[in-house]
């Protein structure tokens, strides 16, 4: 097992901090503590759990600037986006602080006068979470908040690249009185910690946000102890621009969807599918705006696109661009880089490619970078066919002012989250999650607390 984790700044390659990784025994003890304390935490009444969650959210908001700076330093995302992520992260805590008080059961009319049937919701037990680096705050709170609200105890392993934001959040939870055994953080390499979580009898639920291959292995490894699993996995979002779309809206929303976090979000538009009658105008307007995006260190206030997270991510993006160009794609802007493998920083300039064909790598592999490939369609059925031709089913977008086209696309796109004339659909009060190989379960909304609950029924004989 790794002994320590070096956290570096992706904009410069500099070491920010070295933190110790937890040993196998420390992780085992943390799981045992969480499991044992569950019997106490489940007894804390829902209104008190709600109060503690609200206090946590307020404390985080009071430390917003400091947290955002740490987030930008370790993840590279522009400071404005880090501030936005802190708000997004607390919006989940606020939402589930309220939902804690609404975990209603029901009574069922019995088939006999001498019986009463009562259904109640109860917490599943200790929840173990594994989170990614691209949203180090929000991907954690959208698991921790419903878990704690439901009465579960919670333990999280953040990504090696970005543990500091998560550690700060957990420290603030303790400061407002959330018990140390109710919410814990452990650090280590995913391939070391994951098997300890899945093998443990103490853990009743695994919740994961990250890549599809790792998600599949966690599902398999959870089978031996029949754990509950929730999976928020990879995506390959199509963005369809129909013939009657408002092109200016489509351009602005495509940029909003694609370049947030330098294209490193699971719901980023990954394939732009444009009606051929408007393709020229769309590509021209899009390219003009993309060229103006400011690339730089996320700590500089006017930066709109920061670095990509690491060499592996950078190599994947470059290989997809090169593959497309080799197969005939035309570069409208970008395909420029500012990277140094020795120093450890990797910037990719926002890139727009046209004449992209469905056979190219970029049309099948998740890019996780600031690249827009444009392909064309003539009939709307063809756009749907291209959009659905992926094992992923997380997010999709379409732009049309024709309600019949909109209704058709809504019905036949096989994706869990859909934006209609909207490039930024995520919200704490809505159920976020994927179909097909993009995941299992939903986070956010009333649906997002269900995976932390067991349904129990009581039959009373009178």
Q: Which chain residues interact with ligand NAP by CB under 6 A?
A: 130-135, 139, 157, 159-160, 189-191, 194, 209-211, 214, 217-218, 232-235, 266, 366, 394, 434, 439
Q: Which of 74, 81, 85, 266 is catalytic?
A: 266
Q: Which among 81, 160, 161, 232 is annotated as catalytic?
A: 232
Backbone angles phi, psi at 421, to 5 degrees: 55, 35
CA distance 69 to 310: 19
State which residue, 10 or 194, has the beta carbon closest to ligand NAP: 194
Residue indicated by tokens 């055994």? 181
Nearer to ligand NAP, 373 or 416 (CB): 416
In whole angstroms, the minimum distance from the beta carbon of 92 to ligand NAP comes to 12
- Give dist(CA 189, CA 208) in Å, integer: 14
Of 255 and 266, the one with the shorter C-beta distance to ligand NAP is 266
- Single out the residue of 397, 458, 389, 457 nearest to residue 426, CA to CA: 397
Question: Is-contact 409 379, C-beta < 8 A?
Answer: no
Tokens in use for 266?
């699971």
Burial environment of residue 366 by CB neighbours within 10 A (0 to 12, 13 to 18, 19 or more): buried
**Number of residue whose CB is nearest ligand NAP:** 190
Token look-up 């594994």 returns 130
Q: Is the dihedral of CA 109, 112, 115, 120 positive or negative?
A: negative
Closest CB 390 distance from ligand NAP, rounded Å: 13
In angstroms, what is the minimal distance from the CB of 5 to ligand NAP?
Answer: 8
Q: Which is nearer to ligand NAP, 19 or 249 (by Cβ)?
A: 19
Number of CB atoms found within 10 A of residue 48's CB: 12
Between CA 86 and CA 84 the distance in angstroms is 5
Closest among 462, 453, 416 to 436, alpha carbons compared: 416
Alpha helices in 237-308 (DSSP H): 247-259, 279-291
User: Tokens for 455?
Assistant: 């349904």
Q: CA 384, CA 387: separation in Å to the nearest integer? A: 5
232 is catalytic: yes
Q: How far is the CB of 281 from ligand NAP (least distance, A)?
A: 31
Quote the CA–CA distance of 147 and 348 in Å, as a whole number.
37
Antiparallel, parallel or unpaired: β 330-333 and 351-354: antiparallel
Task: Choose between 41 and 95: whose C-beta lies nearer to ligand NAP.
Answer: 95
Q: Which of 266, 296, 238, 271 is nearest to 368 (CA)?
A: 266
**Residue corresponding to tokens 């390659």:** 13
Nearest approach in angstroms of CB 36 to ligand NAP is 24
What tokens were used for 409?
A: 């696309």
Assess whether 333 carries a catalytic annotation: no
The nearest distance, CB 434 to ligand NAP, in angstroms, is 6
Q: How near is the Cβ of 29 to ligand NAP at its closest, in Å?
A: 20
Q: Which residues are designated catalytic? A: 232, 266
């Amino acid at each position: 097992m790794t002994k320590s984790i070096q956290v570096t700044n992706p904009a410069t390659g500099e070491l920010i901090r070295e933190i110790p990784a937890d040993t196998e025994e420390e992780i085992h003890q943390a799981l045992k503590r969480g499991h044992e304390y569950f019997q106490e935490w489940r007894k804390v009444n829902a209104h008190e759990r709600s109060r503690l969650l609200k206090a946590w959210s307020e404390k985080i908001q009071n430390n917003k600037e400091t947290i955002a700076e740490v987030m930008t330093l370790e993840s590279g995302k522009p400071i404005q986006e880090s501030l936005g992520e802190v708000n997004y992260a607390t919006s989940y805590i606020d939402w589930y602080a309220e939902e804690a008080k609404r975990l209603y059961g029901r009574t069922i009319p019995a088939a006999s006068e001498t019986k009463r049937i009562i259904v109640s919701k109860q917490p599943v037990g200790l929840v173990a979470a594994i989170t990614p680096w691209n949203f180090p705050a929000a991907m954690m709170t959208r698991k921790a908040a419903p878990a704690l609200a439901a009465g579960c105890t919670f333990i999280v392993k953040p990504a090696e690249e970005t543990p500091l934001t998560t550690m700060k959040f957990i420290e603030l939870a303790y400061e407002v009185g959330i018990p140390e055994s109710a919410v814990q953080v452990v650090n280590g390499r995913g391939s070391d910690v994951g098997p300890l979580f899945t093998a443990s009898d103490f853990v009743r639920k695994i919740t994961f946000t990250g890549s599809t291959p790792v998600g599949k292995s966690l599902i398999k490894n959870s089978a031996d102890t029949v754990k509950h699993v929730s999976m928020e996995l990879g995506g390959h979002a199509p963005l369809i621009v129909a013939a009657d779309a408002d092109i200016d809206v489509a351009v602005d929303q495509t940029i909003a969807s694609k370049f947030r976090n330098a294209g490193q979000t699971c719901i980023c538009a990954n394939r732009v599918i444009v009606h051929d009658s408007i393709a020229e105008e769309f590509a021209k307007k899009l390219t003009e705006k993309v060229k103006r995006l400011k690339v730089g260190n996320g700590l500089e206030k006017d930066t709109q696109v920061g670095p990509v997270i690491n060499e592996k991510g950078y190599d994947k993006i470059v290989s997809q661009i090169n593959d497309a160009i080799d197969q005939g794609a035309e570069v409208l802007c970008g395909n420029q880089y500012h990277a140094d493998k020795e120093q450890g920083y990797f910037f990719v300039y926002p890139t727009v490619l046209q004449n992209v064909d469905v056979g190219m790598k970029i049309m099948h592999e998740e890019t996780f970078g600031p690249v827009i490939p444009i392909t064309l369609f003539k009939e709307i059925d063809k756009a749907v066919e291209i959009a659905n031709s992926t094992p992923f089913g997380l997010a999709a977008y379409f732009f049309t002012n024709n309600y019949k086209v909109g209704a058709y696309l809504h019905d036949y796109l096989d994706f869990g989250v859909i934006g209609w004339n909207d490039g930024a659909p995520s919200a704490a009060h809505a159920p976020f999650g994927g179909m097909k190989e993009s995941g299992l379960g939903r986070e956010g909304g009333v649906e997002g607390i269900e995976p932390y609950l067991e349904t129990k029924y009581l039959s009373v004989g009178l």
